[in-house]
Amino acid sequence: MNRDTELELIDELLALKADKTHFLDETVTRNPVTHYVSDDRFAEERDRIFRKTPMIAAHTSELANAGDFLRRDVAGLPVLLTRDKSGTVNAFVNAWRHRGTRLVDDEAGCKHRFSCPYHAWTYANTGELIAAPHFDNGFEGLEKSELSLKRLTCQERHGFIWVTAEDDGAVDLDTHLKDIGGDLAALDLENMVVAHQDAPVHKANWKILVEGGIEAYHFKVAHQSTIGPHFEDNLSSYRMFGPHMRSILMRTSMARLEPDTREDWRLRDHAQVLYTLFPNTALLVQSDHIAWINQEALSAGETRVRMSTLVPKEEAGNTEHWQRNHEITRVTLDEDFVIGESIQSTLTSGANEDMIFGRFEGALDAFNRVVDARL
Ligand code: FES
Ligand SMILES: [Fe+2]
């Protein structure tokens, strides 16, 4: 975001506060509750969105050195990420080509080859089958070269490793990032590292968890004992960048900015800047670090929330400070996720046919319109 945009965003929120109003969409909107509970709907989202969109699977710092590997779920597929000795990152389906055993059970580690505990077929971290006992006698007509691991499209960009599960009909990464790339570049994510990460599973649809982050209507209520007092009541704005969104949530300190210090105004210090990267990633830009949240949808009613604190490389040693920040983010997000689970638990009760989004909750409608358009 350039300097003019930064000041415009601050001015916009200050004007809304001065006018005692909110950032309002045209109308109240609705979203059917079936979109959050239906298995068919979930299968469609998985097949048409998650599998056809470049998804952030990891941060590059999690796979920093040759030989490093990571196990992740991407779009419902078990995925093995490796960095080979040429420095290239590879993504494979984490399944042996013989009888399907999982190639890797450890979450992460460093290995240049993987040997199966079942019949000892051995793969290089570049995906080739390099050894298989008694192969020539037992697998006549097959070539080892045909039995490489199933490779997925994988690219490093803006400090993240992006995996596309199915290329056929998929959005390519350049197109995906066309409108938001400038903002992502400015965050300097390549020069950050993961200081902390946890990944609990919550019993809520992934969209409910995304929606929980993109409105400020709940801040003063749901976060009253944590971050609520630091934010203005129900004051946020949002813009779409293709399928992605940038939301700005106003801190109380913004209203105390003096006009004669305008040159030094820094949005990050007086607002929470939140990027919602379609479909399932949130980047919460704090004044000295970024909370990166991936909503890994497991089923219609279950989501693994992988939350990482990304910090500048050169300040990674400040471990206590980052630990404290990670815990603050975790406690605050848990307040949202408990509510998300509560919402999910009532959706099949018949109490409501639709979710209702107020005019200052327009971001929720905008997000759901993108989801709908991709199905
Ligand atoms: S399933 Fe792994 S070698 Fe047979
Ligand atoms: Fe919240």
Q: What is the arithmetic mean of pLDDT over 201-224?
A: 96
- Give the separation between CA 322 and CA 319, rounded to whole angstroms: 5
**Residue reference for tokens 């630990």:** 323
Cβ–ligand 1 contact at 118 (below 6 Å): yes
Contacts of 192 (CB under 8 A, 6+ apart): 59, 61, 159, 289, 290, 310, 311, 312, 313
Phi, psi for 5 (deg, rounded to 5): -60, -45
The pLDDT value given to residue 225: 93
Q: What is the arithmetic mean of pLDDT over 55-59?
A: 98
- Give the separation between CA 152 and CA 163, rounded to whole angstroms: 7
The pLDDT value given to residue 287: 87
| 231-267 pLDDT per residue, tens | 999 999 999 999 999 999 999 999 999 999 999 999 9
- Give the separation between CA 207 and CA 216, rounded to whole angstroms: 17
- Give the separation between CA 266 and CA 262, rounded to whole angstroms: 9
Q: What is the arithmetic mean of pLDDT over 115-120?
A: 93
Burial class (CB in 10 A: 0-12, 13-18, 19+), 19: exposed
Burial class (CB in 10 A: 0-12, 13-18, 19+), 118: exposed
- Give the separation between CA 362 and CA 238, rounded to whole angstroms: 9
Could you tell me if residue 190 is left (phi over 0), alpha (psi between -120 and 50 degrees) or otherwise beta? Answer: alpha
- The per-residue pLDDT of the chain, averaged, comes to 96
| 67-80 pLDDT per residue, tens | 999 999 999 999 99
Q: Decide if 3-51+181-374 and 55-170 have a common fold.
A: no
Phi, psi for 147 (deg, rounded to 5): -115, 30
**Residue reference for tokens 């399928």:** 243
Contacts of 252 (CB under 8 A, 6+ apart): 229, 230, 231, 232
For residue 220, pLDDT beyond 90: yes
| pLDDT interval class at 128 (50, 70, 90) | very high
Residues 5, 9, 11: CA angle, nearest 5 degrees: 115
Q: What percent of the chain has pLDDT over 70?
A: 100
Helix (H, G, I), strand (E, B) or coil at 209: helix
The residue contributing the CA closest to ligand 1 atom 3 is 119
What is 288-334 written as a DSSP string? S-EEEEEEEEEETTEEEEEEEEEEEGGGTT-HHHHHHHHHHHHHHHH
The pLDDT value given to residue 126: 98
The pick from 121, 123, 142, 149 for probing ligand 1's pocket by mutation, whose C-beta has the most ligand atoms within 8 angstroms, reads: 121
The pLDDT value given to residue 201: 98
Cβ(235)–Cβ(255) below 8 Å:
no
| 317-374 pLDDT per residue, tens | 999 999 999 999 999 999 999 999 999 999 999 999 999 999 999 999 999 999 999 9
Cβ–ligand 1 contact at 98 (below 6 Å): yes
- Give the separation between CA 217 and CA 234, rounded to whole angstroms: 4
Q: What is the arithmetic mean of pLDDT over 200-209?
A: 98
> Helix and strand tally (H, E) in the chain?
11, 20
Tell me how far the alpha carbon of residue 142 lies from the centroid of ligand 1, in angstroms: 15
Phi, psi for 298 (deg, rounded to 5): -100, -35
CATH topology for 55-170 is: Rieske Iron-sulfur Protein (2.102.10)
The residue contributing the CA closest to ligand 1 atom 1 is 99
What CATH code is assigned to 3-51+181-374? 3.90.380.10
Q: What is the arithmetic mean of pLDDT over 88-104?
A: 94
Other CB atoms within a 10 A radius of the CB of residue 77 amount to 20
Tell which residue, 197, 196, 191, has the closest CA to residue 64.
191
Predicted TM-score of the model (pTM)? 0.96
| 223-233 pLDDT per residue, tens | 999 999 999 99
For residue 268, pLDDT beyond 90: yes
The pLDDT value given to residue 74: 96
Tell me how far the alpha carbon of residue 231 lies from the centroid of ligand 1, in angstroms: 55
- Give the separation between CA 46 and CA 319, rounded to whole angstroms: 37
- Give the separation between CA 296 and CA 11, rounded to whole angstroms: 36
Domain spans of the chain? Answer: 3-51+181-374, 55-170
E-only strand ranges, 216-270:
231-241, 244-251
Report which ligand 1 atom has the smallest distance to the Cα of 132.
3
Tell which residue, 72, 49, 334, has the closest CA to residue 202.
334
Q: What is the arithmetic mean of pLDDT over 182-201?
A: 97
The pLDDT value given to residue 169: 94
Cβ–ligand 1 contact at 148 (below 6 Å): no
- Give the separation between CA 326 and CA 311, rounded to whole angstroms: 11
Report which ligand 1 atom has the smallest distance to the Cα of 120.
3
The pLDDT value given to residue 152: 98
| 36-54 pLDDT per residue, tens | 999 999 999 999 999 999 9
Cβ(217)–Cβ(339) below 8 Å:
no
The pLDDT value given to residue 1: 87
